[in-house]
Amino acid sequence: MPIELIEPAEDDSIDCHLQQIGMGSLICRAAQQTGQKNTTNEVTPAVCFSCDVGRIFREVGCDAPLPKITVHNWGHGNPHVEIDGIFCKIRRRYTTLEYCHTCTLATAESTRQIVTSTRGLFQSHGFYAAYQDLEKARLSIRDGEFARSITHSIACLESTCRIIHEELGEELPKKKQLTDLWKSTRAVLDLDGLTAGDTLAPLLNSLHGAVTQIGAMRNALSDAHGRGTLPPHVSEAMAELAMNSAATVATFAFRHYRSRIAGTTS
């Protein structure tokens, strides 16, 4: 089915998970090239702005849909674009923009913002192991593998603590469990000395309890230690809670690590 192209305004977003920057051009990774001279994977901002898959990504925040898309370029004017169907990797069925707006499997906007922000910090400052763990957690939720997402979420927080120790030249604790790593990270960053008096101490103690419970989620619900014949039920809400909690604590530790190496406190 051909799509009607609408030119975006200068400040309109044309973001899509299938975009790629080519040699001086915008590329759609899903565009099928049939070998004919008039088929291409090069697209214009109007194509990305008008395509339902791009709209799903921007309006719903989901990168699971994949289209059967063909772009014809006859060398004049806008390209002719046809979408023969949109396949959802989560539901393993064809979908539509209208259905995606009502889908309960789409990642919550608050979760997407937390993950995007934390991944950006990790990527820009070389915390690649933590970045990869968080990305795996996100993809696992997207693909409905909630137990696996919990595994990767806790691994993200552990990787953050390990990298902080390594970057500061500090020895890791003898026990490498999450609670031990967090206790050592708290000491390495001197989090208890951030404010005078007992202003922050109760919150830090509560945070330690939260970290302990996050670790307990892995032991009880994740697939880190194998899965039996009757594994425990893990819901999307549980997986999302683990990922958001781990990302928030990791961000807190990361920012104070950056403050320490900069010689400031925040």
Over residues 127-139, the pLDDT tens digits come to: 999 999 998 998 8
Specify the pLDDT at position 36.
62
pTM: 0.63
Confidence class for position 198, pLDDT limits 50, 70, 90: low
Domain count, the chain: 2
As a whole number, the mean pLDDT across the chain is 85
**pLDDT (mean) for 72-84:** 79
Confidence class for position 265, pLDDT limits 50, 70, 90: very low
- The answer to whether residue 251 sits within a structural domain is yes
Q: Are residues 125 and 245 in the same domain?
A: yes
Q: Are residues 248 and 148 in the same domain?
A: yes
93 φ, ψ (degrees, to nearest 5)? -145, 165
Residue ranges making up the domain that contains 78: 19-102
Q: Pick from 68, 85, 102: which residue ends a domain? A: 102
Q: Are residues 47 and 84 in the same domain?
A: yes
CA distances from 9 to 46, 52, 56, 173, 195 (A): 10, 17, 19, 54, 48
Highest mean pLDDT among 84-98, 136-150, 230-244: 84-98
**pLDDT (mean) for 80-108:** 86
Q: Are residues 94 and 136 in the same domain?
A: no
Q: Are residues 189 and 254 in the same domain?
A: yes
Instruction: Give residues with Cβ within 8 angstroms of 14, minimum separation 6.
Output: 8, 45, 48, 49, 54
Cα–Cα distance for residue pair 63/236, rounded to 1 Å: 17
pLDDT: which is higher, 80 or 220:
80
- The answer to whether residue 64 sits within a structural domain is yes
CA distances from 39 to 79, 224, 247 (A): 10, 46, 42
Percent of the chain scored above 90 by pLDDT? Answer: 36
Q: Pick from 47, 79, 102: which residue ends a domain? A: 102
Q: Pick from 70, 85, 102: which residue ends a domain? A: 102
Q: Say if residues 211 and 183 touch (Cβ distance below 8 Å).
A: no
Cα–Cα distance for residue pair 162/165, rounded to 1 Å: 5
Cα–Cα distance for residue pair 62/111, rounded to 1 Å: 12
Q: Are residues 130 and 81 in the same domain?
A: no
Token pair 């933590």 is at which residue? 130
Q: Are residues 133 and 229 in the same domain?
A: yes
The answer, yes or no, to whether residue 229 has pLDDT greater than 70, is no
Confidence class for position 46, pLDDT limits 50, 70, 90: very high
Specify the pLDDT at position 266.
47
Confidence class for position 155, pLDDT limits 50, 70, 90: very high
Question: Residue 218 is part of a domain; what is its CATH number?
Answer: 1.20.120
